[in-house]
Structure 1
Amino acid sequence: MIIEGKSLWYAERLCAVNVLFQILCAVFVFSFLIFIHELGHFSVAKLSGMLVHEFSIGMGPVLFKKTVGETAYAIRALPIGGFVAVEGEDTDSNDSRSFGHAKLWKRILFVSAGALMNLILGFIILSILVGMRQVLPSNTIGGFYEGSASAEHLQEGDQILKINGSRIFTANDISFSLSLDRDGIVDFTVLRNGKTLEVPQVDFGMETAPDGTKFLHLDFYVQSQQKTFWSGTVYTVQWMISIVRQVWLSFLNLITGNFKLSELSGPVGVSTAIGQASTMGLRTFLNMVGFITVNLGVFNLLPLPALDGGRLAFLLIELITRHRVNPKYEGMIHAAGLAFLMGLVVVVSVQDVIRLLS
């Protein structure tokens, strides 16, 4: 009984340490990606001569703050965002170093720099992952698992060109396109023996996850291709483009109603995924971080108020009309957008918690 009691005690402590490790990994990844993003904004602002009041990692209450020169550097309690506070970005200012007094191309570069930094980091991580591979996956069917239903329609050696009308460039595109299917019946366009063929109504069947979510049962695997410097570079670029497409298509599917709000993951869900990936080896962890940083970069470029893409939209309007939108009204629009996004984060986070508890 004493031995069993000690074993249980050690198991509980080990579980607690594992959970703490996952939480710390998630916080570190979020903080690092936010730092890289805000560093892009900050660097361009400084190089452009803009007056930067604060460079902050995190949101909410201040944990640490130190002023160096004209800029305050802060770490805040909630690692769900960050900001670079530039003079006159959301208000009108007569200061010669304000955001509004900078040349338009500098303001466009400033607004875009955060997302570009995330995309550059994502490309570096994906390049490392490709470098760790001995071979590369293709979009050609290599074989079928036992009991495969799709083998009645598809053949080994089929190069998949389209799935439900969506172009396929990488194995990543195959997984994503099939994940969008809702009934398990999929239309393919393949290259077979040098001829392009339409293969409609391929029935995969659906499976049900423990939480009740239905998903398509993928019953084939793809061929591997030899990796060279050139093929590795091409694959990295294609992989990067594939992830960018996924973010935009997911956004469009959300707008059109093909995605439900319940299918989104917020900070809690993403943190859980990062924590789990941190225990599955370096490759899985880097894959998750690379995917998230590219997502962060593309998401921030969406033309929504409060996001970099929303601010970029106002600058493009200025570029076309030659007149800047009144900073007061633009600031009000971004404030409303921020309130909406924060509300969305709360709703999605509650859903994440409910999923975890269930």
Structure 2
Amino acid sequence: MNTLISFIIVFGLLVFIHEWGHLYFAKRAGILCREFAIGFGPKLFSFKKNETVYTIRMLPLGGFVRMAGEDPEMVDIKPGFEIGLVFNRHNEVKQIIINNKSKHPEAKVVQVEKIDLEHELFVEAYDEDELVRYNVHNKAVLVQDEQATQIAPWDRQFGSKTVGQRALAIFAGPMMNFILAFVLLAALALMQGIPVDRAEIGEVMPDSAAASAGLLEGDQVSSIDNIPTDTWEDMTSIIQQNPKETITFSVIRDNQPTSVSVTPNEREGQLGASEGFIGVTQPREFSIPGSLMFGVTQTYLFMTMIFEVLGLLITGQFSLDYVAGPVGIYTYTGEAAALGIFVLMQWAAALSVNLGIINLLPIPAMDGGRLVFIGLEGLRGKPIDPQKEGMVHLVGFALLFLLVIFVTWNDINRLFM
């Protein structure tokens, strides 16, 4: 249960902040955003606020913001078609009833001669053999099968905005993931302090080799077995190289030099070989400017680590073992949660950076792929054929979905077989 709750919180936060970035900058550009969704597939929960429907969907594989103009707009109403018109107090059309007109006795039924719901916003229709022009409100709705859909005039559609406005609305999602990672890591540093790279004993774990030997928090380690130690890495490197071997620490305690003999315990290291450890933490300092800088540097570090893995694609050393799907992320989130809130925060920050970078890759159906098309439009001076672009994104989405299935199967094999 803890794993499930942790996964929902972490996944929900990462997707929410990503899609909120798209939503915020799209709305600032004046784009009508029809839906803000967390997940894909059937709706589990929804509510409408202002012009946008907010939904939670069944499949936890991401999210989306549906902007006006990205899908075919509205119903195609042809001349001769009968529709019902409902007016506001200014005699503007506020509702256009497509079918089931008998359920709307307040609607004026007319026969369409000409209609424009994108540019001039009018309906020309015959009313008792007289051609009448009705002005349509820019937030009027079409009602079909008792479902209301707000019209999207051209100036509210995604395609009407400048290249810069559209690019920012798309880039904003990954950008918010990077900002979220920075905020999480800076908050982490504020709560638990900033690691200090000096050879000094931080917290001493109870019943550890360090505690048994008499090392104390704040001891400054000048050398180990007469090997100078200036940094935390210098100190830990010597400790790791000497499991179950007694080593002598030369420390400064209360401005007085002293020696302490320590026998490191043994454990399995990252590469499978045994290593020594004595049960102490790295010293930490508390500082607001330092915490902000820690957020920046750690976010950058996560970025470089992800790019290193992506670089393996070029050299041919890439393995699917480097990739985790929903099952793998669920499992690792549970493991991080079991180690405490600080580890979970760091894991969430790493995932957020990962999500931001992956979305910026020039892959169809991803934010990076959409930015490529916007960039090409800027260079050409005219947009790519929407049907061709839509087909590219559709194929890209299908391939991504297949990749998710394959990676998920790989996760299951790795975890349970």
Asked if TM exceeds 0.5, the reply is: yes
Instruction: Classify the secondary structure of the residue corresponding to 1:125.
Output: helix
Contact 1:301 1:308 in 2 (8 A): yes
Query: Contact (CA 8 Å) 1:92, 1:100: kept in 2 or not?
Result: no
How far apart are the structure 1 equivalents of 2:169 and 2:199?
44
Q: In 2, distance between residues paired with 1:352 and 1:254?
A: 20
Q: CA deviation at 1:107?
A: 0.3
Task: Tell me by how many angstroms 1:134 deviates.
Answer: 3.7
Task: Check 1:77–1:133 CA distance in 2 against 1; reply closer, same or farther (3 A cut).
Answer: same
Distance 1:218 1:323 in 2: 61
1:51 counterpart = 2:40? no
Q: Distance in 1 between matches of 2:363 and 2:199?
A: 39
Q: 1:223 to 1:125 in 2, by over 3 A?
A: closer
**2:292 aligned with 1:311:** no
Residue number among 58, 62, 81 corresponding to 1:77 in the alignment: 58
Give the C-alpha shift of residue 235 in structure 1: 2.8
Match of 1:323 in 2: 382
**SS in structure 1 of the partner of residue 338 of structure 2:** coil
Paired letter, 2:399: F
Q: Deviations over 1:96-117 (max 9, x none)?
A: 3211101111101100111111
Richer in strand (by share): 2
Compute the displacement of 1:262 (Å): 3.0
Contact kept in structure 2, 1:30 and 1:80, CA below 8 Å: no
Alignment correspondent of 1:62: 43
Q: Secondary structure at the match of 1:66?
A: strand
Deviation at 1:159, TM superposition (A): 9.9
Is 1:296 aligned to 2:277, yes or no? no
- Secondary structure at 2:155 match in 1: coil
Secondary structure at the aligned position of 1:303 is classed as coil
SS in 2 for 1:26: helix
Q: Secondary structure at the match of 2:63?
A: strand
Instruction: Provide the C-alpha distance between the structure 1 equivalents of 2:73 and 2:389, rounded to a whole number of angstroms.
Output: 10
Secondary structure of 2:70's counterpart equals coil
CA distance in 2, matches of 1:234, 1:67: 40
Q: Which residue of 286, 290, 305 corresponds with 1:246?
A: 305
How far is the alpha carbon of 1:215 from its aligned partner?
A: 5.6
* The one of 331, 341, 358 aligned to 1:282: 341
Where does residue 353 of structure 1 map in the other structure?
A: 412
Cα distance in structure 2, aligned partners of 1:281 and 1:356: 22
Structure 1 residues 258, 53: closer, same or farther in 2, change over 3 A?
same
Could you tell me which amino acid in structure 2 is paired with residue 131 of structure 1? Answer: L
Q: Is the 8 A contact 1:243 1:291 kept in 2?
A: yes
2:294 aligns to what? Answer: 235
Greater mean alpha carbon deviation, residues 91-100 or residues 332-341: 91-100
Name which of structure 1's ranges 233-242 and 62-71 shifts more when overlaid on structure 2.
62-71
Does 1:89 find its partner at 2:70?
A: yes
Partners of 1:316 and 1:218 in 2: how far apart?
A: 51
- For 2:275 and 2:360, the matched residues in 1 are separated by 32
Provide the C-alpha distance between the structure 2 equivalents of 1:223 and 1:61, rounded to a whole number of angstroms: 48
Q: Distance in 1 between matches of 2:405 and 2:24?
A: 31
> 1:55-107, CA deviations, whole angstroms, 9 ceiling, x for partnerless residues?
11111111123344443221100121111111223669963321110111110
Aligned residues: CA RMSD: 3.4
> What is the alpha-carbon distance in structure 2 between the residues aligned to residue 21 and residue 225 of structure 1?
29
Partner of 2:402: 343
Q: 1:356, 1:230 → 2: CA distance?
A: 42
1:263 corresponds to which residue?
A: 322
Distance 2:289 2:45 in 1: 46
Checking the alignment, whether the CA contact within 8 Å between 2:232 and 2:282 is kept in structure 1 is: no
User: Which region of structure 1 is more displaced relative to structure 2, 224-233 or 66-75?
Assistant: 224-233
* More contact order relative to length (CA 8 Å, sep ≥ 6): 1
Residue number in structure 2 paired with 1:28: 9
3-state SS of the aligned residue for 1:325?
coil
Kept in 1: contact 2:309–2:322 (CA 8 A): no
The residue identity in structure 2 corresponding to 1:352 is D
* Whole-angstrom distance in 1 between the partners of 2:313 and 2:353: 19
Q: Tell me if structure 2 keeps the 8 A contact 1:34–1:81.
A: yes
Q: Sort the Cα spacing of 1:343 and 1:216 in 2 relative to 1 into closer, same or farther, 3 A.
A: farther
Deviation at 1:312, TM superposition (A): 1.1
- How far apart, in 1, do the equivalents of 2:322 and 2:32 lie? 41
Bigger CA radius of gyration: 2
CA contact (8 A) 1:304 1:337 kept: yes
Q: Confirm or deny: 8 A CA contact 1:108 1:312 kept in the other structure.
A: yes
Matches within 5 A, 1:153-232: 156-157=229-230, 228-232=287-291
1:216, 1:290 → 2: CA distance?
29
Report the secondary structure of 1:74's partner residue: strand
Report the Cα offset of residue 225 of structure 1.
7.0
Q: Distance in 1 between matches of 2:383 and 2:231?
A: 54
- Residue 39 of structure 1 is matched in structure 2 by 20
> Which of 114, 119, 123 is 2:182 aligned to?
123
Deviation at 1:53, TM superposition (A): 1.8
Q: Deviations over 1:123-159 (max 9, x none)?
A: 1100011112344154x8889x9xxxxx9xx984479
Counterparts of 2:382 and 2:388 in 1: how far apart (Å)? 14
Moved more, 225-234 or 341-350: 225-234
Worse overlay, 69-78 or 223-232: 223-232
Give ranges in structure 2 of 5+ residues lacking alignment.
Answer: 75-117, 119-153, 202-208, 210-223, 237-267
Q: Which residue of 1 aligns with 2:165?
A: 106
